[in-house]
Amino acid sequence: MRLTFTGRVVEWRGPAPYYFVPVPDQECADIGEVARAATYGWGVIPVEARIGETAFTTSLFPKDGGYLLPLKNAVRKPEGLDAGDDVQVELTVRPQRPVG
Protein backbone atom coordinates (compact mmCIF):
# COMPACT_ATOMS: atom_id res chain seq x y z
CA MET A 1 0.00 0.00 0.00
CA ARG A 2 1.39 3.37 -1.06
CA LEU A 3 0.15 6.66 0.35
CA THR A 4 1.08 10.30 -0.11
CA PHE A 5 0.02 12.98 2.34
CA THR A 6 1.00 16.32 3.83
CA GLY A 7 1.45 16.68 7.57
CA ARG A 8 2.92 19.02 10.14
CA VAL A 9 6.02 18.08 12.14
CA VAL A 10 5.24 17.95 15.87
CA GLU A 11 7.66 17.70 18.79
CA TRP A 12 7.12 15.49 21.81
CA ARG A 13 9.23 16.57 24.74
CA GLY A 14 10.16 13.70 26.98
CA PRO A 15 13.55 13.01 28.49
CA ALA A 16 14.78 13.63 24.94
CA PRO A 17 12.82 15.42 22.20
CA TYR A 18 11.20 13.27 19.52
CA TYR A 19 9.66 14.47 16.29
CA PHE A 20 6.70 12.96 14.45
CA VAL A 21 4.35 13.61 11.56
CA PRO A 22 0.78 12.60 12.46
CA VAL A 23 -0.80 10.57 9.66
CA PRO A 24 -4.09 12.19 8.50
CA ASP A 25 -7.39 10.46 9.33
CA GLN A 26 -8.16 9.16 5.81
CA GLU A 27 -4.71 7.59 5.46
CA CYS A 28 -5.04 6.11 8.97
CA ALA A 29 -8.30 4.48 7.86
CA ASP A 30 -6.53 3.03 4.80
CA ILE A 31 -3.68 1.72 6.96
CA GLY A 32 -6.21 0.25 9.37
CA GLU A 33 -7.47 -2.00 6.57
CA VAL A 34 -4.08 -3.78 6.38
CA ALA A 35 -2.87 -3.22 9.95
CA ARG A 36 -3.36 -6.82 11.11
CA ALA A 37 -1.25 -8.14 8.23
CA ALA A 38 1.37 -5.42 8.54
CA THR A 39 2.05 -5.20 12.27
CA TYR A 40 4.78 -7.23 13.89
CA GLY A 41 3.50 -6.52 17.41
CA TRP A 42 2.32 -3.76 19.78
CA GLY A 43 0.39 -2.21 16.89
CA VAL A 44 3.46 -0.70 15.21
CA ILE A 45 3.41 -0.79 11.41
CA PRO A 46 6.72 -1.12 9.48
CA VAL A 47 6.96 1.35 6.58
CA GLU A 48 9.28 2.78 4.00
CA ALA A 49 8.99 6.56 3.70
CA ARG A 50 10.37 9.48 1.73
CA ILE A 51 10.43 13.14 2.61
CA GLY A 52 12.11 15.30 0.00
CA GLU A 53 15.29 13.53 -1.08
CA THR A 54 15.54 11.42 2.08
CA ALA A 55 14.24 7.83 2.02
CA PHE A 56 14.10 5.86 5.26
CA THR A 57 12.56 2.86 6.99
CA THR A 58 10.78 3.10 10.32
CA SER A 59 7.58 1.99 12.04
CA LEU A 60 4.38 3.95 12.54
CA PHE A 61 3.40 4.26 16.20
CA PRO A 62 -0.28 3.87 17.10
CA LYS A 63 -1.65 6.90 18.98
CA ASP A 64 -5.26 7.77 19.89
CA GLY A 65 -6.75 5.71 17.04
CA GLY A 66 -4.28 7.07 14.48
CA TYR A 67 -0.59 6.76 13.68
CA LEU A 68 2.55 8.85 14.11
CA LEU A 69 5.48 8.73 11.69
CA PRO A 70 8.71 9.20 13.69
CA LEU A 71 11.36 11.50 12.22
CA LYS A 72 14.92 10.74 13.25
CA ASN A 73 17.63 13.39 13.07
CA ALA A 74 18.98 11.50 10.04
CA VAL A 75 15.79 12.59 8.23
CA ARG A 76 15.11 15.98 9.81
CA LYS A 77 18.59 17.48 9.50
CA PRO A 78 19.23 16.85 5.77
CA GLU A 79 15.73 18.11 4.96
CA GLY A 80 16.01 21.11 7.34
CA LEU A 81 12.84 20.18 9.24
CA ASP A 82 11.69 21.43 12.62
CA ALA A 83 8.48 21.44 14.64
CA GLY A 84 5.70 23.29 12.84
CA ASP A 85 7.00 22.60 9.32
CA ASP A 86 4.59 21.10 6.79
CA VAL A 87 6.02 18.16 4.84
CA GLN A 88 4.90 15.92 2.03
CA VAL A 89 5.33 12.25 2.89
CA GLU A 90 5.41 9.28 0.56
CA LEU A 91 4.72 6.14 2.58
CA THR A 92 4.69 2.45 1.71
CA VAL A 93 3.17 -0.06 4.13
CA ARG A 94 4.46 -3.57 3.55
CA PRO A 95 2.29 -6.38 4.96
CA GLN A 96 4.28 -8.97 6.90
CA ARG A 97 1.77 -11.71 6.08
CA PRO A 98 -0.96 -12.13 3.44
CA VAL A 99 -4.00 -9.86 3.76
CA GLY A 100 -7.36 -11.64 4.04
Does residue 96 carry a pLDDT above 70?
Answer: no
Does residue 38 carry a pLDDT above 90?
Answer: no
Q: What's the fold here for domain 2-93? A: Elongation Factor Tu (Ef-tu); domain 3 (2.40.30)
Q: What angle do CA 67, 86, 36 make, to 5 degrees?
A: 15
| Domains in the chain: boundaries | 2-93
43-54, pLDDT tens digit by residue?
789 999 999 999
- In whole angstroms, give the CA distance from residue 83 to residue 86: 9
pTM of the predicted model as reported, rounded to 2 decimal places: 0.88
Range of weakest confidence among 9-13, 27-31, 83-87, 91-95:
91-95
Q: Pick 32 or 92 by higher pLDDT.
A: 92
